[in-house]
Amino acid sequence: MAKLGLNVDHIATVRQARGGTEPDPVTAAAMGELAGAEGITIHLREDRRHIQDRDLEILRRTVQTKLNLEMAATDEMVGIACRIKPEQCTLVPEKRQELTTEGGLDVVGNLAAITKATARLHEAGILVSLFVDPTAAQIRASKESGADAIEIHTGSYAEARDEQSRHHELAAIREAIRLGNELGLTVHAGHGLNYVNILPLTGLSGIEEFNIGHSIISRAMLVGLDRAVREMVALIRRP
Ligand code: PXP
């Protein structure tokens, strides 16, 4: 059964809005785990706009499930990851101006650098997942890089505005899962998923982990984090 990786970046975004100490993503992570999240995901960005080094260091000691660190494949980030040793690193593309991660990693175009980063992370005992668009070329290159897993970028699916394009994006995701599994890669999915568009995905077998942040934290502002996480976990575990 698929697991929920709760992304707590947006808790840190609210904290950084005032530059103070609350709300604390460390507290949110613990509450999320108590409500059924089976992983905690954070993105340590180069510009430190939300998650801080301090959060990563404390979460490494407090997360009881699995800590998934999203990061760019830079020397700085790989060095930090090798020191902190999260269970998993998800390599993502990163641009300073973007509001959130835009598009998947170009593994095909950066194969040497990603292979090198993956090898360094493996030496530190860290599983490596690559955030990629659902295309055969990127998935095959992910396998070639030595990565353990892919996280299928579900942004285009989530943003599809009509039934035909949703159907098209869903077919691409289904094919990506099939190919990933065939190549022996663990398959995760994430980006833009919410309480409605998750439903067709939970019906697909072969996805082990959904990484979800914005929709859960948004709902938590209105109904509380415990309820927001429990509701998403129930959807993911639906038979
Ligand atoms: N997975 C990856 C690789 C991401 O970069 C993000 C956004 O930080 C997410 C999942 C979560 O996306 P969302 O906040 O839209 O649920």
The CATH label, of 1.20.1530.20, 3.40.630.30, 3.20.20.70, 3.40.50.2300, for the domain at 3-237 is 3.20.20.70
pLDDT at residue 102, as a whole number: 72
- The type of residue at 61 is R
- Tell whether pTM > 0.85: yes
Residue nearest atom 1 in ligand 1 by C-alpha distance:
190
**What separation in angstroms does the CA of 127 have from each of 132, 143, 158?**
16, 13, 27
pLDDT at residue 94, as a whole number: 83
CA-based angle 204:209:212, to the nearest 5? Answer: 105
Is the beta carbon of 212 within 6 A of some atom in ligand 1? yes
Each residue's pLDDT expressed in tens, for the chain with a length of 239 residues: 899 999 999 999 999 999 999 999 999 999 999 999 999 999 999 999 999 999 999 999 999 999 999 999 999 999 999 999 999 999 999 876 666 667 899 999 999 999 999 999 999 999 999 999 999 999 999 999 999 999 999 999 999 999 999 999 999 999 999 999 999 999 999 999 999 999 999 989 999 999 999 999 999 999 999 999 999 999 999 87
User: Residue 73: CA atoms inside 13 Å, Cβ hemisphere, count?
Assistant: 26
Is the beta carbon of 211 within 6 A of some atom in ligand 1? yes
The residue to mutate among 9, 188, 211, 217, having the most atoms of ligand 1 within 8 angstroms of its beta carbon, is: 211
The residue to mutate among 3, 4, 6, 7, having the most atoms of ligand 1 within 8 angstroms of its beta carbon, is: 7
Is the beta carbon of 9 within 6 A of some atom in ligand 1? yes
Is the beta carbon of 214 within 6 A of some atom in ligand 1? yes
Cα separation, 67 vs 60, whole angstroms? 7
The tokens for 226 are 């415990």
pLDDT at residue 88, as a whole number: 98
Catalytically annotated residues: 43, 70, 191
The tokens for 195 are 């309480």
CA-based angle 210:39:171, to the nearest 5? Answer: 10
**What separation in angstroms does the CA of 24 have from each of 19, 98, 108?**
12, 24, 37
Q: Are 108 and 138 in contact (CB under 8 A)?
A: yes
Q: Given the DSSP bridges, would you call strands 209-212 and 3-7 parallel, antiparallel or unpaired?
A: parallel
Kindly report whether the peptide bond that precedes residue 239 is cis, defined as omega within 30 degrees of 0: no
User: Residue 225: CA atoms inside 13 Å, Cβ hemisphere, count?
Assistant: 22
